[in-house]
Structure 1
């Protein structure tokens, strides 16, 4: 009466087995979870901190997630490429919009309008002593799905959440000034922080930055010791620390890095085009390069300095960061005076973009040569990247608990066989309040967790960040 398995079409049989698998996972999770754990297996994240640090010992013990295995999605979660692509395409799964927040606007002296979203936890707002300041990745905003899942989890745990929107990132808001966000600019974040501090003058802050947001947050905290006193702790997730070093690896086809470089470039270019009526003038003439670096020469110089320059090697003898950062070999110096958003104070240094070449760019290095460094007033891309680097200011943060998270399979911020990992490792070795966590999987900002195909809505990094914030805040009351 029923056909044998051999008589079934192989595709039908495959679909049948796949549906059976999904059904079993959904309604009988224990079996497949056991197989996932023991056959493919999760892994505990690697944790690094200064030997003998009693503070870090206590924080690690108060974060159960650091004692557990991180188990990514069963079928695809062990590929950093797939995690990164899924994050870029989908963001997070089963995300529900958060309602009830309030959006504030802040006007700046150059005519720009900044926006931030403030989410209050349930219950009495005055009883919430802690506010999490979140700085998202490049071109992202409070509309990004991973911002929603983190915010939902943090609100459920009793935190107030402030979501910083990069200038120009909100799709429904037009620019009112002649600029967008810059890679390492802290002026806009400072204006929003000051505005929110007046609304909640007694709150204690927790700073969290994702990718580029981690670089901006590091610079923001490192440049002002008085500001750091208002913070309980800070966390940086998947940031690259040094643009010069990262860009030298992204211009390589190894591990498909050039592919990711192209995707990021096109996304940023689309971002600029969306605001072209404000950012770009009507002129279409290309700008001559004269004394500035040409496209080819810029790439050659950047590659040479990133691989051969001894300044990128960490100093193993660094003992007192606050006193030695000026001579630390990781520190780059940039000529010229710039404001906190990375715009030249001398307006004559600002140049119009090279429009003809801008429309044909295929890498971030090209985009920054023909657009970013010109509108900001830098003489070369090398100077732009030197100014953007957060390393000098990272070493100034020696009086605040800091969590740094990178992944072993991040295709953008590559740790394996590169010098990037030396930066956070050197920092935590000489800072008794710093913690470096490196899970085996997670990709770039993915950190999807659980499930066979469809992962949990709340990601592994969401849980880690909230547990870390709770542990540090508990330190103040214990």
Structure 2
């Protein structure tokens, strides 16, 4: 892990030195927009009178209400490549910006697992209307609500309107074992497993029945969110969604990561080692009972030396990444084929914005035509890296470009779009678990624990920003 950090710092330093000799060559990246000719028709509030509505296509909504997607992204001059943008996401210090405080609620799932829902603003500091829009956030591979890329959107979105924010509420769903959430069953999480976000959505909808729910996913969380929205179809409880740096085709991405020395040595090893560190931290919980297939995979996983992502998935995640069925899978490739989200895009039935970068070293495929689905829009920049998009603000501070278009999108779909009731299938309680009528395997209930969480404190031993 340390060697990976040092290598990243070396690349970053060399890139800065090269850039000194090219600093006058400013780069501009105008996002390319991909929207089906027959885009979905969306009902929006008329600007002349909030009681009147009119129809807009998805293209109209984006072009009129998300102007940042029609303007240039100008990367900071010394982060001129996708590698440098990605490296800075890992090694940069973001502890003093976009500070967020959360209230955490722990949820126990039907299989005995635990999820951590982080709410902001804390109710003890500010009360919001019961119909205030809610952003439901899914983080990246081994991240959580503390990640700088999460806070880059959550902080401004949840500031009061009179302080320049949107006045929204955000709920970050922390996966099992991430961001201080305990592991309480022999199961972890994965890019394709959607039952945990489904259970969390039961709880969120029951707790806030009048609030529009807006999905926001980053990297691995973007893949989970895409699959969830597609699986729910017309019954999706989310009114709209946005995904950033989604990995889409996991088979092709794995082949690209493992087939290139730099990508395998830096990116794949960093991702695999991060996941190995999560297993090490929760080894005792994952090893109970000893006869469980997941428990038997723990020791071989911990014995791996600087595993790549594919090696980790072959050894552990194909077995432990979700409930049975469909887990375990016979191979990592079989798991990747099942978990990929690009094939699910034609089934999305809510306004859906995807943002990606052509030079993302982790994501090799951008399915920009989305199966000609009129609900899906793609915005793609030539530069930005993986969860990077760093540019200089008017005050000289380095900020992420994607914050502006994402906030514009969230305002458009949360405030301007007419959101009809989206309760989903009826819910019921059985033995304290909240479940959908007609389905008994997915559900949740509140568990002991939680409390106030500082949004800038990550976990030691893990590379941030992934």
TM-score, normalised to structure 1, is 0.70
Name the structure 2 match of 1:22.
none
Cα offset for 1:438?
0.8
**Correspondences of 1:116-135 after superposition (within 5 Å):** 116-120=117-121, 124-126=127-129, 128-135=131-138
User: By percentage of residues, which structure has more strand?
Assistant: 2
Question: Which contiguous aligned blocks of 4+ residues in structure 1 show a shift greater than 4 angstroms?
Answer: 121-124, 347-351, 451-454
Cα offset for 1:370?
1.7
- Structure 1 stretch 434-443 or stretch 90-99: which is displaced more? 90-99
**Correspondences of 1:20-169 after superposition (within 5 Å):** 39-51=25-37, 53=39, 54-74=57-77, 76-90=78-92, 92=94, 94-99=96-101, 101-120=102-121, 124-126=127-129, 128-155=131-158, 156-169=165-178
**Which residue, out of 235, 246, 251, partners 2:253?**
246
Provide Cα deviations, 1:269-308, integer angstroms capped at 9, x if missing partner: 111111111113698xxxxxxxxxxxxxxxxxxxxxxxxx
Contact 2:138 2:222 in 1 (8 A): yes
- Counterpart CA distance in 1 for 2:294 and 2:27 is 54
Structure 1, unaligned runs of 5 or more: 1-17, 19-34, 284-346, 415-419
Cα offset for 1:92?
3.4
Contact 1:83 1:446 in 2 (8 A): yes
Name the structure 2 match of 1:3.
none
Provide Cα deviations, 1:132-180, integer angstroms capped at 9, x if missing partner: 1110101111122222222111112121111110110023x43222222
- Counterpart CA distance in 2 for 1:73 and 1:278 is 44
Distance 1:274 1:203, change over 3 A: same
Name the structure 1 match of 2:198.
190
- Counterpart CA distance in 1 for 2:135 and 2:93 is 21
Cα offset for 1:123?
6.1
- Structure 1 stretch 102-111 or stretch 270-279: which is displaced more? 102-111
Cα offset for 1:354?
7.0
- Counterpart CA distance in 2 for 1:193 and 1:91 is 33
Distance 1:452 1:266, change over 3 A: farther
Cα offset for 1:356?
4.2
Provide Cα deviations, 1:69-128, integer angstroms capped at 9, x if missing partner: 111212x222211111111223636325323x3211111222222110111398651264
SS of the residue 1:269 aligns to: helix
Distance 1:42 1:392, change over 3 A: closer
- Structure 1 stretch 45-54 or stretch 210-219: which is displaced more? 45-54
Name the structure 2 match of 1:320.
none
**Correspondences of 1:168-187 after superposition (within 5 Å):** 168-171=177-180, 173-187=181-195
Cα offset for 1:47?
1.3
Cα offset for 1:406?
1.0
- Counterpart CA distance in 1 for 2:69 and 2:300 is 51
TM-score, normalised to structure 2, is 0.72
- Counterpart CA distance in 1 for 2:151 and 2:294 is 37
SS of the residue 2:30 aligns to: coil
Contact 1:91 1:145 in 2 (8 A): no
Name the structure 1 match of 2:385.
443
Contact 1:130 1:204 in 2 (8 A): yes
Cα offset for 1:355?
3.1
Distance 1:124 1:111, change over 3 A: closer
Contact 1:56 1:433 in 2 (8 A): no
Cα offset for 1:226?
4.8
SS of the residue 1:241 aligns to: coil
Name the structure 2 match of 1:256.
263
Distance 1:161 1:278, change over 3 A: same
Distance 1:463 1:69, change over 3 A: same
SS of the residue 1:203 aligns to: coil
SS of the residue 1:435 aligns to: strand
Distance 1:94 1:445, change over 3 A: same
**Which residue, out of 290, 304, 314, partners 1:360?**
304
Distance 1:201 1:454, change over 3 A: same
Count residues in correspondence.
Answer: 368
- Counterpart CA distance in 2 for 1:129 and 1:265 is 39
Cα offset for 1:452?
11
Distance 1:452 1:66, change over 3 A: closer
**Which residue, out of 407, 417, 421, partners 1:476?**
417
